[in-house]
Structure 1
C-alpha cells in the first residue's frame, strides 16, 4: 500500500489541488489534516482487518447448508469494522450520519480496502451505492428507514438487475410486481407491491453479516390486460428487504418471500457471495400471501433511470477495484523484483560465473514490465480520482462548473469502468510474468489478483456494452457537447505542454491523437446508420480510453514538473511512466481506429455457419 499512498498524496495535493474544495461551504469543516487522518485510518484498518484474510476469503468460499450462508469469521469482522469506521456514509451530509467529506476522499480511502481484499470490500461498496440511490430517489421515509440503516452498517444492500434468461438485456426481464391489495397505498414505506421472479448474479445477495439485506430490484408492473410492458420504459424499481420492517425501521420478525436458490462459484471474487435469488415462490409467505413485499422507488416505469444512479456509481467502483488490483500486483512484483536475484548482467561481466547474480529489477525486460504496470495502475488511479473530483464539482461547484462536470462524467464513465478492467488486468498478467513460475502458484498473491480482476471486464456491463454506450450515446448526446468539452480539455493540456521543456513533443503527439479520434468519430457516424458505426464500437472504446489516459498522464507530468517540493524520484518516476505510455501505448490507437473510420463490415457480415 506504500506505493499507492505516495501516488495518492501526490495526485490529491499537487495535481487535483484538493485543498481548494475546503473553501466551499459543504467542506468548510475539513482541511488537509482531515484528509491525512482519514487516509491514515483507512490504510491501517485495511492492513489489519482486510489484507491478512484476503487469501482466506478466497480459499474458504461461501457455502450454503440449506438454511444459512457461511463465510469466514474474518469476513464478518472486517465488514463490521469497515461499517464502524463511518466510511459507508463518508461523503453524506451530517444529518444522515455522514462525515460530509469530498467524494474524492471517500473514493481514495476506499482504495486501501479494495487493494487489501477486493472481495471483502464489495459488501460495503454495494451498500453505499444502494443507499446513495435511495437518498437521490427515495421518499423521506425510505431514506430514513432504509438508507440511514445502510449508512450505519446495520443493514447491507444489493442491486438486482439481471435474470437467468435475460442477462444484460434488461428490456427482457420478466420479474413482475403487482399492487398489494389494500396495503398498496396504506403502507408508510411507499406504494406496496408483491414481486415474483428470479434474479441472477446478485453479489452479496445472501449472508449473515448484517441483520438485514436491502435488495433494490428491477421489475415490471403488468398492464390492465395482465401483460408486462415491453422494453426498458416499463421497468420500475422496488425496495425488497430480506426481513420485513415497520415504518420505524424495526424488524418485524417475519422473513420476506425472498429465497436463495443457489450460490454461483466464480473464478475470482470468491469471498463475495454471488447468488441466484427467487422472489415470491412461496418459500417464505409473509402475512399469508405469496409474493415478496416490495416498495416502489420513484414513479412507475422510471426504474431504470433511478437504477442508473447506482449503476454509474457502481461502474466507477468496478473500475476503481480493477485499478487497485493492478496496484496490488504492481507493488507485489516490484518488491519481488527488488529482492529475487537471478541471472547476470549483459556484457563481459555477465559471462563470468564468479559474478554474483543480480536482482531481477536490474534486467531491462523486467523494468519494461514494471514500467508498464506503473503506467497502467497509476494512470488508472489518476483516472478514478479525476472522475471523483468531477462528482464533487457537480455537487458543489457553480452552475456552469457543475454542468461541465456532468457532461465530462457522462463521457468518461464508460472509460472509468472499462479501461482499468482491461489494462490493469494486463498489469496483473505482467506481475505474474515478473514472478516467473512462482507467479503461477498460490505461494504468491499475484495469481489471485489476476483471477479477481478478470471479473471486472464483465461486472456492471461488459466491454461491448460500455463501447455501445460510449459511441452510441455519450459522444453524440446533446449534439456532441460532452465530446467537445473533453476535446477542449485535452487540447488545453497539449498546449500547456508545448511551453515546458521536454514535454512539447508529447503535447504535439497528444494533439495529433485527439485529431485522429475525432476524425474516426465523424467517419463512424458519417452515414447516420447506427449499425455502421457500432459494429466497431469496441476498438473505438479502446482507442478513446488510451487517448484519455495519455491526456491524464501528460497533465500529471505537468503537475510533477511544476511541484517544487516533489522528491526527484517521484518526479522522474512520473515522467518515465508518462513517456512509456506515449512511446509504447498511444501508438496502438491507429490500429484500433482503422476499422472504425472505415466502418469495416466484417463483424456484421460474418455468418454463424462460417465459424
Structure 2
C-alpha cells in the first residue's frame, strides 16, 4: 500500500472531505475533481521531481558572482508545478485560483515533498502571497500576490538575522521613510531598508523573473533609535526588481544583494542565502537603501507575518511526514527483497535451510511498524489540521471559532512532532538497510539529512515547545486545551463502544488525564522559569496523546470498512503498536514536567 492509497483512505473514508462540496465555496467540486488534482500532482511529482532527487542533492546551487545557477531539472520541475495551478489552488476563482479546500491542497502537495523536498519547496511563495492577500492593500494584492500565485514571480520571508537568529526582538534591520516623510507610493508607503537577513530559503535564483521578499524591519524614532522588543516590528515588500503599478518590471534592480549561499546538510537543492539590504551594491534612484513598501500598519509586522508562518509550520510538518514515509517505503521494499539470516525454531537455527528475507525477523517488523505508526499517524494529524483550516474559513459560527482555537493548540504539535519522530523513522530506515543505508547508494541517508532541518526552521523545536506550554494551552483561559480534551474524550467514548478498541480507549483516557494534570502542575507556582524548564518533554507527551487520538479514530474508520482487508489490518496493527510501544513513554516525559524538575535549568555552566 503506497502513499496514494493512504491519502485516499484518510481523505475520503476517515475525514470524509467529499462532504465539503455541500458548502457554497466548494460546490463546483466533486470527488472526481479532487481525484483529478491528486492524479495530476502525483504524475508531476513522479516525472519531474522524483527522478532528480539525487541530482539536486549532488549538484548544489552555485553563485557565479552575478546569479545563482541551478540544475535544469529544477527549472523544469518548478515550471511544471506553476503550470499546474497549485500555487493558487485554494484561492478564489476571480484571481485565477481553483477554490480547492485547503485539505486537498495539502494532500496534493504531499506528493512533491515525498518525491524531492528540496525541489518542491514552493510553500514560501504561496504563504507569502496568502499573507499579502490577508494584510496587503488592493494594489499590493494585484501586483505582488497575484503574480506569485500565477507562478510568474517567487516569494520569500526574511525574518532571521545573523546576530539575532530566532530572537526577533533583536533584529536590527531598519526602515526609514523614503524622503522627508513616509512618501506614499501607489504600491504603499515607501521606505528605505538597510540590514542583513540570514537563512533565507530561495532568497536568490533565476527560476522566475522576480522575487518578492517579505522583510521584517524596525522603523526608527525621530532620534534614530530602534524600538525595543517585537512590538516595533513592521513588514515590508522588497522586490528584487522594481515594478510599476501594472506589475511590469521597470528595469531597475533593487538594492538587495546576495552575500553568499549557505551549504547545508540537506535540502541542498534549495538555495539558502544571506541577503544584504541597502548595502549600496545596486544603488537605486539616487539614494541609499533597498526600496520597500509597508504592508499593513507600522508595528504590525509580526501579526502580518505570522499569517504566513502558521501555514508554513503546517507545511513543515507535512514535509517532515513525507520524508518519514519516503524512508518507510524504501526500507519496506528493501526488507522484502534482502535475504539474510534464518528463522530460529525450537532446535535453534538450521543453517542448511535457505536464508529468509529480513522482513521475516521480528525486530525488522518492529522498526517498520514504528515508521508506519509515525508516518501515517503524522499524515493523519496534518490532514486533520488542514481540514480545520477549511472549517475556520468556511464553517459557521461556533464551528469556525472552535476550528481556530484547535489550530492554535495543534499547530506547534503538527510542526514539531513529525519533525522529531519522522526523523526517527528515517533513522530506522537506515538501520533496516544496515551498512548499505549509510552509503549514498541508497536514498535513505538523504531522507534523514533532508529531514534534520525540520526541527530547526520555521520555529525551532524548543521555541515551539515553549509556545505550546507557555501560551497556546493557556490562551483564552485554557479554552483551547479544554476544547482539544473534549474532542479527544468524544473519540474515546466512540472507540469504547467499538468492539476491539476498548483497551486502547481506556489507555488514551488515562494518558489524557496525565497530560492535563501535568499542565496544571507545571504552572502551579506561576513561575515561567519552572513551568517551561521541561517544555520539550511536555510537547513530546502531549504530541503522543494527540497521535494516539488520531490512531484511535483512524482505527475506527478502518473497522467501519473491512477490518480484515490487508490495508485496514495494517492500520489496526500500527494503531496497536502506537498504543503498546509508544504511548506508555509519556509517563517519564510528564514526570519531570509535573515535578517542575530543574536538573537542566540549574546545571552550573562550569560542570559542562
Instruction: Give TM-score scaled by structure 1 length.
Output: 0.98
Deviation at 1:185, TM superposition (A): 3.3
Gaps of 5+ in 2: none
SS state at 1:296 partner: strand
C-alpha separation between the residues in 2 aligned to 1:567 and 1:7?
Answer: 16
Match of residue 98 from structure 2 = 99
Match of residue 75 from structure 1 = 74
Match of residue 25 from structure 2 = 26
Deviation at 1:394, TM superposition (A): 0.3
Match of residue 482 from structure 1 = 480
C-alpha separation between the residues in 2 aligned to 1:31 and 1:188?
Answer: 41
SS state at 2:186 partner: coil
Deviation at 1:186, TM superposition (A): 3.2
SS state at 2:429 partner: helix
Deviation at 1:354, TM superposition (A): 3.1
Counterpart of 1:582 (choices 579, 601, 604) is 579
C-alpha separation between the residues in 2 aligned to 1:591 and 1:351?
Answer: 38
**1:526-573 CA distance string (max 9 Å, x none):** 111111101111110110100100011001101111135x77111111
Match of residue 440 from structure 1 = 438
Match of residue 38 from structure 2 = 39
Match of residue 111 from structure 2 = 112
SS state at 1:194 partner: strand
Counterpart of 1:281 (choices 259, 262, 279) is 279
C-alpha separation between the residues in 1 aligned to 2:310 and 2:156?
Answer: 14
Contact in 2 for aligned 1:553/1:578 (Cα 8 Å): yes
Contact in 2 for aligned 1:280/1:291 (Cα 8 Å): yes
Contact in 2 for aligned 1:550/1:582 (Cα 8 Å): yes
Match of residue 571 from structure 1 = 568
Match of residue 461 from structure 1 = 459
Counterpart of 1:332 (choices 326, 330, 339) is 330
Deviation at 1:359, TM superposition (A): 1.2
**1:458-495 CA distance string (max 9 Å, x none):** 01111110010000000000000000000001111111
Counterpart of 2:176 (choices 175, 178, 181) is 178
Please show how residues 213-224 of structure 1 align to structure 2 within 5 Å.
213-224=211-222
Match of residue 531 from structure 1 = 529
Contact in 2 for aligned 1:344/1:350 (Cα 8 Å): no
C-alpha separation between the residues in 2 aligned to 1:245 and 1:10?
Answer: 46
C-alpha separation between the residues in 1 aligned to 2:281 and 2:348?
Answer: 71
Counterpart of 2:514 (choices 513, 516, 525) is 516
**1:165-199 CA distance string (max 9 Å, x none):** 00000000000000111684331100100000000
Match of residue 404 from structure 1 = 402
Is 1:86–2:85 an aligned residue pair? yes
Residues 1:25 and 1:267: Cα distance change in structure 2 (over 3 Å): same
Please show how residues 129-528 of structure 1 align to structure 2 within 5 Å.
129-181=127-179, 184-347=182-345, 351-528=349-526
Q: Aligned-pair RMSD on alpha carbons? A: 1.1
Contact in 2 for aligned 1:183/1:192 (Cα 8 Å): no
SS state at 2:236 partner: strand
Instruction: Give TM-score scaled by structure 2 length.
Output: 0.99
SS state at 2:601 partner: helix
Gaps of 5+ in 1: none
Deviation at 1:219, TM superposition (A): 0.1
Deviation at 1:352, TM superposition (A): 3.1
C-alpha separation between the residues in 1 aligned to 2:125 and 2:184?
Answer: 28
Number of equivalent positions? 608
C-alpha separation between the residues in 2 aligned to 1:153 and 1:137?
Answer: 20
SS state at 1:287 partner: coil
C-alpha separation between the residues in 2 aligned to 1:363 and 1:598?
Answer: 40
Is 1:11–2:10 an aligned residue pair? yes
C-alpha separation between the residues in 2 aligned to 1:350 and 1:331?
Answer: 32
Is 1:54–2:53 an aligned residue pair? yes
SS state at 2:260 partner: strand
